[in-house]
Amino acid sequence: MTQPIKISILGATGSIGKATLDLVRAFPDKLEALGLAAKSSLEVLAEQIREFKPKVVSVGDQAARKKLLDLLDWPQSLAIKRPEILVGAEGLDLVASQSGAQTVISAVVGAAGLRPTYAALVKGLKVCLANKESLVLAGEILTQVAGDRLAPVDSEHSAIFQALGGRLDCLDLDRLILTASGGPFRGRSFDDLKKVTREQALNHPTWSMGPKVTCDSATMMNKGLEVIEAHHLFNLDYDQIEVLVHPLSYVHSLAGFKDGSILAQMGPTDMKLAIAYALSHPARWPLAQAALKQPSFEKFLNQAVPSPLTFEQVDRKVFRPLALAEMAGRLGGTAPATLNAANEVAVEAFLAGRLAFIEIFEVLERTLEALPVQKITNLDEALAADQRARIKAAAFLPK
């Protein structure tokens, strides 16, 4: 019998982290969780520790560690030892690289995912990457050190990865079409966007995800970050990467080849499929036993009802964050890191009720304009660009 794949999950209490643990629960013969890291939801983390018994855990700081120990209340008599509990950025790096796992699920949200992702890759581990922000910040550095040890989890990139049979490099690949649901504000005018609320922005039509990526889907910054992510993962020029709105999210993206053929991947809007494929490729696991969401397009296949399989262009004059990200990607150097940091600052302020939806766009534009583009040759330079942009963007928030 083959041994289970030993994994570490960074961002274990988040939307992707929980979906990954659903897979561990469904496939105990295939997966074993050795390391868990999180910064929020300590009650959830304590439950996860009791159920999955990892060897090492990391939380945000000493206060969170103390709270977690109280929640765990680990009996001395228990045959299984309490996991080691680490803290902070260092703890996160250690869970990423020293837990004894072969594979790391990188699913922290935001730029905080860069260092641990890099640590895992430098250690020679495989990384299933949900944290798109780390590729946006330091795509060249990560892909160089990764070789073929990166597997995308983002559903669009997973769709292309699946179309390529579980590979990233394909000399016959000619173009990519990333699909977007269009988010909750599809078809709205710029003036309409001035009035939208936080609740509306967080009400995604087809996917259930964490708050930051859901907000990014509403501004379409998410698709912009994904264009940059695709550029790095599949080594294509920006001219070869298109975006189309496909409101029902049946087709998760399309890969176009030199001979004119296009392969699309369809599936349920359930991230367990993409996470499982990142772990199992090129094989596939029987995901029915992981309670996979039913694909809503099956009714069209089974009943031969005409399917509304529609695609439309994005209005970049309204959804300016997509255009800004495409521009930053083409500029290269520190520009994507600057835009990403400005976005994290602006989205955090929006989610806290301190910024209007449309003002996110202004913070992005002003920060990108204010900071000159520089080259990035190593991780520290990428992180320094991130810090500079955070300070600049914070200065553009309302007092």
Q: Among residues 19 and 324, whose Cβ is nearest to ligand NAD?
A: 19
The partner in contact with residue 133, picked from Mg ion, ligand NAD, none with C-beta cut-offs of 5 to 8 angstroms by kind, is ligand NAD
Give the residue at shortest CB distance from ligand NAD.
14
Q: Among residues 34 and 209, whose Cβ is nearest to ligand NAD?
A: 209
Q: Among residues 112 and 230, whose Cβ is nearest to Mg ion?
A: 230
229 binds Mg ion (CB under 5 A): no
- Binding stretches for ligand NAD (CB under 6 A): 11-17, 37-40, 92, 107-109, 112, 130-133, 154, 207, 209-210, 212-213, 271
In the 3-class helix/strand/coil scheme, how is the chain assigned residue by residue? CCCCEEEEEECCCCHHHHHHHHHHHHCCCCEEEEEEECCCCHHHHHHHHHHHCCCEEEECCHHHHHHHHHHHCCCCCCCCCCCEEEEHHHHHHHHHHCCCCCEEEECCCCHHHHHHHHHHHHCCCEEEECCHHHHHHHHHHHHHHHCCCEEECCHHHHHHHHHCCCCCCCCCEEEEEEEECCCCCCCCCHHHHCCCCHHHHCCCCCCCCCHHHHHHHHHCHHHHHHHHHHHHHHCCCHHHEEEEECCCCCEEEEEEECCCCEEEEECCCCHHHHHHHHHHCCCCCCHHHHCCCCCCCHHHHHHCCCCCCCCECCCCCCCHHHHHHHHHHHHCCCHHHHHHHHHHHHHHHHHCCCCCHHHHHHHHHHHHHHCCCCCCCCHHHHHHHHHHHHHHHHHCCCC
Q: Among residues 166 and 211, whose Cβ is nearest to ligand NAD?
A: 211
Q: Least distance to ligand NAD from the beta carbon of 271, Å?
A: 4
By rule CB under 5 A, what string of x and - marks binding of each residue 154-193 to Mg ion? xxx-------------------------------------
Q: Least distance to Mg ion from the beta carbon of 226, Å?
A: 5
Q: Among residues 160 and 328, whose Cβ is nearest to Mg ion?
A: 160
The partner in contact with residue 16, picked from ligand NAD, Mg ion, none with C-beta cut-offs of 5 to 8 angstroms by kind, is ligand NAD
The partner in contact with residue 112, picked from ligand NAD, Mg ion, none with C-beta cut-offs of 5 to 8 angstroms by kind, is ligand NAD
Size, binding site for Mg ion by CB under 5 A: 3
Q: Among residues 93 and 270, whose Cβ is nearest to Mg ion?
A: 270
Give the residue at shortest CB distance from Mg ion.
154
Q: Least distance to ligand NAD from the beta carbon of 74, Å?
A: 21
Q: Least distance to ligand NAD from the beta carbon of 98, Å?
A: 16
**Residues in touch with Mg ion (CB under 5 A):** 154-156
